Structure 1
Amino acid sequence: MTSLREVGPAVGAAATPTSLLPAGPFSARRTRTRTRLMTAAVAVFAERGVIGSSVEEICEAAGFTRGAFYSNFADKDALVLALIEQGIAEEYAAAEEAVTELKARGARLLATDTVSQVLGRLSGGGRSDRTNLLAQRELLLYAARVPGLREPYQAFADACRAQVEALVTDALT
């Protein structure tokens, strides 16, 4: 299984949900397959939890075979890490957009207002419905509990915190 330490930059433009895929060029069809599997997994994980869900259930919800799953993910743990990475990348992109908007305005804001706007976008990420909130919590708890995921997830989370710190510092300057 690919560890999050091997994926390069933690978040931002260089990190995408595809960074956990095997190396090589990817067709639009493969990208759509992966997206459908990930979307289905979010719904299944929100309803049954990561531990209570099977690869078969995810495949059935996405309308694919196990072969499609395993051509995109080494196992369920790799899918969990890909979903965490995708969620964090989306939230970081929203926070970056807030910084860009603040810079474009050129107006001086209080530091607390600036930090509040950036962190508000970072924690929102546009995924606040019940299913996404449940799935997000499930994924993070699973990554923290499973011994084989704990260390790579922690390293990824540390890298993300460093990038968020740099983003907030940039916004304040």
Structure 2
Amino acid sequence: MNESQVSPKVRGREATRAKLLDAAGEVFAEVGLGEASVERICERAGFTRGAFYSNFASKDEMFIELATLVARERVDAVRSRIDEIAIDCDATDVTVIIRALDVFGDDRASAMLMSEITIHAMRDADFAAAYSVQIDAVTAEVVQLIDEIVEAKGLRLKLPADDAARIIVGVWSDSSVRAAIANLEPEQLAAQRTRELSQIVDLLIVR
């Protein structure tokens, strides 16, 4: 079924669901899962509790869907950026990786939301199992990116690509969290992350 065949009722329901998820992302980032009440999410989205429960069985169900959506968007964004960068023959091994990861977002709210998702995963085994699949998908995209760069530029790594990818993603995450704690502006965060990722990538490459 193409978009023109979707009924106005279905489109309206999808729009309501999307607004609720956007509002939930903001609220979860601001106050955490425990303090993010259904009422608070509905107020932020401009809907009633009835609208919430016609779309989600519970707050936990919404949180799982939000975490999955965030991870899927990351995978799609990294893949898209890899395809864009692949045609740029002048890009260096360092800048290619950084430019691919820059799609993850530079704002403080994004870092806070991802931290909240991570904390919940550490507390809830079922949630952790589901979300780990999404984390692995993101890492797999970075592994593919590294493999493509290594082959295209005739480089050698000191570690297997999957280990290098996890290190790079870990540094990216740590840099984003520390920037959020320091309340850095997006431009400052980007500069800090570029510097730190450049250093790590340089250490991973055999010169």
TM-score (norm 2): 0.58
Q: Which residue of 1 aligns with 2:85?
A: 102
Give me the whole-angstrom Cα distance separating, in 1, the residues matched to 2:38 and 2:83: 40
Letter in 2 for 1:80: F
Q: Which residue of 1 aligns with 2:194?
A: none
The alignment yields a C-alpha RMSD, in angstroms, of: 2.6
Deviation at 1:58, TM superposition (A): 1.0
Equivalent in 4, 14, 19 of residue 31 of structure 1: 14
- Change in CA separation of 1:116 and 1:134 when aligned onto 2, cut-off 3 Å: closer
Say if 2:33 and 2:116, in contact at 8 Å, map to a contact too.
yes
Residue 48 (str. 1) matches residue 31 (str. 2): yes
Give me the whole-angstrom Cα distance separating, in 2, the residues matched to 1:116 and 1:44: 29
Q: Where do 1:146-157 residues align within 5 Å?
A: 146-157=124-135
- Change in CA separation of 1:135 and 1:97 when aligned onto 2, cut-off 3 Å: same
Unaligned ranges ≥5, structure 1: 1-24
Deviation at 1:42, TM superposition (A): 1.7
- Change in CA separation of 1:91 and 1:80 when aligned onto 2, cut-off 3 Å: same
Q: Which residue of 2 aligns with 1:160?
A: 138
Q: Which residue of 2 aligns with 1:66?
A: 49
- Change in CA separation of 1:118 and 1:47 when aligned onto 2, cut-off 3 Å: closer
Residue 118 (str. 1) matches residue 118 (str. 2): no
Aligned residues: 144
Percent identity (aligned): 34
Deviation at 1:171, TM superposition (A): 4.9
Deviation at 1:29, TM superposition (A): 0.7
Residue by residue over 1:85-129, the C-alpha shift from the partner in whole angstroms, topping out at 9 and shown as x without a partner, is 222233333322332222223x154433333332343xxx23x32
